[in-house]
Structure 1
Amino acid sequence: MNYNAELVSLNELVPFPNHPYKVDINEDLRNLQHSIEERGIDEPLIVRRVNDKLQIISGHRRFLASKLANLQNIPVRIVDLDDDQAAIMLVDSNLHRRNVLHSELAFAYKMKFDALKHQGKVKDDLTMCPVGTKYNTDSAEHIARQEGTSRRQIYRYIHLTNLNKELLEYLDQGIISFNPAVELSYLKDDEQELLLDAIKDINATPSLSQAQYLKYLSKNGEINEDIVYEVLEEQKANQKEKLKIDLESLSKFFPRGTTPKEMTEWIHYLLEENDFEKDFIKDGIDLKI
């Protein structure tokens, strides 16, 4: 692999097709732009030749920041990689970034999973030299070992790529949590559209148990618009109003050593045995117990 940097025109560079990482013009990118304007590019982009263009493998943010900074030429390192090797290097070169979105991880893991599966060998990410013997284990297991997570978690992320674009955006924005989103990724496309319409209509998102129930209904072909609304309109456990009583203020009414559970049982017993409702109504308070 050739690591000698050279200057090339920005016009020669093209993005890697369908790469999983978002490159937005935000505050971070503007800061990178200003840094490049002041000091230039510290780390050359890594590219490979594809026909008459140089395809970016690592450095999409630096590329856009350089365009915004009106640079004409940019330092690059041209490497000789096939499609699978390039995909693996692209994914690995960005996983270290801070605040990688769930959707980015999902498509990055899938890209690397597909490349490893097609490649059939483990490759060292720096030298691209074969390591060990023929790669016979699960690609997800290999990625999991590298990422310090579980094989199951890698598969969960990969399955998120089945979510439609808007539901993925809800996940990235924190509107839908990760675990419910994984369950929802098992819904068919039209079912996801029904769910999305309902979420927008009633401003409610499914909990994990609701998402699991929708997955179960989908598997059995029982989802329709009415059911989706019915599920979303159910009151979630964390939305139910709860009465909180200070334990210390109650303790003086019970023998020493009485547990909170025993206190609760005694309170229920006393309320059931005494006609408190009549007393409240007599005092002008309409309280149903």
Structure 2
Amino acid sequence: MATLPKLDLGLPTYDSLFSTEEERQDANAEKITTIPIDKITDFKEHPFHVTMDEDMAKLIDSIKENDMLMPALVRPKEDGTYEMISGHRRKFALSQLGRKEMNVIVRNLDDDQATILMVDSNIQRENIYPSERGYAYKMRLEAMKHQGKSVKEFNGDIGTVYEKTTSCQVGTKLRSDVALADTTEFSARQVQRFIRLTYLVEPLQKMVDGRHENEIKIAFNPAVELSYLTESEQYDLANAIVENQRTPSLAQCQEFKRLSHDGELTTEFIDDTLSEEKPNQREKLSFQMKEIDQYFPKDFTPGKKKDLMIRLLENWAKKRAREQER
């Protein structure tokens, strides 16, 4: 005898009839769980550097003393592992302490949601390199473009998400970079300038971040101009900077950009430009007059003090020259 198919009459289930609203909400609530650290992979193309610096040492000491107070946020992967959304630094700290597990909240997120939460949970840190901020804004901007009419705003360390429309009162869609700027302390133009840093080759990125091995530092505005050079031109420039131990000024970078646009920037011009000593890169000796006032008569003017110091140095140089001739 054939069985009749079950009809879905839309009636409540037995469990729902005899469970309280509190129990139903609790069943749907996200739970903190503990999973092995080796089951958690870093977020794909995570833009923030996780290094053993002073802040990390403080975090390790804090976890050692108080344990990890805030759970990380992860999303499940098809292979049974998890991808980190928020908590890369905590994971590193736990690994340094020899811990094998960490407390997490597991949340199902699509790629765009995960990207926005990953960026927003890290961008709030105090010490962020300019290039890190650029990559983060670039990733978030792309995710916002994918989402279409709405973007997600982040609040809280474990990623509470609120929806925000990108449409204005007359119904025209806002530019994504303007919507992104609304979530930051910067203007849309400044956000785009940070994103330009992602077009720099790695040696120049390290220079603008202040993490170059030769301790060479390029200012933000010149670095933005250099981002318009071709990759090979940027490598030529990076090599010339190291060789000459000098960085280009903003005006020089703008000239590099113009010549690159016209296809006229050469290695020789870069070398010649950097071999010229900039006024602000000449060695200067400075001290306060009160440090040497005790060695001069009280009625000596600054001009007389200068003249005397020069004469004394001249006599000292002549004496050294005579001694070396013996």
Q: TM-score range by the shorter chain?
A: 0.7 to 0.9
Change (3 A) 1:42 1:12: same
Distance 1:153 1:92 in 2: 17
Residue of structure 2 in register with 1:149 after alignment? 186
Contact 2:36–2:100, Cα closer than 8 Å, also in 1: yes
Distance 1:239 1:59 in 2: 42
Change (3 A) 1:133 1:117: closer
Equivalent position to 2:239, from 188, 197, 204: 197
Residue of structure 2 in register with 1:138 after alignment? 175
Residue of structure 1 in register with 2:259 after alignment? 217
Contact 1:2–1:77, Cα closer than 8 Å, also in 2: no
Residue of structure 1 in register with 2:114 after alignment? 86
The AA in structure 2 aligned to 1:166 is P
Residue of structure 2 in register with 1:124 after alignment? 153
The AA in structure 1 aligned to 2:58 is N
The AA in structure 2 aligned to 1:132 is T
Distance 1:241 1:107 in 2: 36
Contact 2:166–2:179, Cα closer than 8 Å, also in 1: no
Q: Compute the displacement of 1:64 (Å).
A: 0.7
Residue of structure 1 in register with 2:223 after alignment? 181
Residue of structure 2 in register with 1:162 after alignment? 199
Distance 1:55 1:2 in 2: 20
Distance 2:29 2:93 in 1: 25
Contact 1:101–1:172, Cα closer than 8 Å, also in 2: yes
Distance 1:238 1:26 in 2: 31
Larger Rg: 2
Query: Match of 1:146, SS?
Result: coil
Q: How many residues align?
A: 242
What per-residue deviation string (whole Å, max 9, x for no partner) do you get for residues 207-231 of structure 1? 1000000000100001111111122
Query: Match of 2:134, SS?
Result: helix
Q: Compute the displacement of 1:152 (Å).
A: 0.8
Query: Match of 2:223, SS?
Result: helix
What TM-score, normalized by structure 2, do the two folds share? Answer: 0.70
Residue of structure 1 in register with 2:295 after alignment? none
Equivalent position to 2:84, from 56, 73, 80: 56
Distance 1:191 1:90 in 2: 33
Gaps in structure 2 of 5+ consecutive residues: 1-27, 211-215, 285-326
Distance 1:202 1:216 in 2: 22
Residue of structure 2 in register with 1:33 after alignment? 60
The AA in structure 2 aligned to 1:66 is L
Contact 1:2–1:79, Cα closer than 8 Å, also in 2: no
What TM-score, normalized by structure 1, do the two folds share? Answer: 0.79
Change (3 A) 1:110 1:196: same
The higher relative CO (CA closer than 8 Å, separation ≥ 6) is in 1
Contact 2:121–2:154, Cα closer than 8 Å, also in 1: no
Contact 2:74–2:83, Cα closer than 8 Å, also in 1: yes
Query: Match of 1:86, SS?
Result: helix
Gaps in structure 1 of 5+ consecutive residues: 243-289
Residue of structure 1 in register with 2:136 after alignment? 108
The AA in structure 1 aligned to 2:139 is M
Q: Compute the displacement of 1:100 (Å).
A: 0.9
Distance 1:133 1:209 in 2: 38
Change (3 A) 1:133 1:187: closer
Identity of counterpart residues, as a percentage?
39
Query: Where do residues 212-251 of structure 1 align in structure 2 (5 Å cutoff)?
Result: 212-239=254-281
Greater Cα offset, 62-71 or 137-146 = 137-146
Equivalent position to 1:67, from 90, 95, 104: 95
Change (3 A) 1:212 1:57: same
Contact 1:2–1:78, Cα closer than 8 Å, also in 2: no
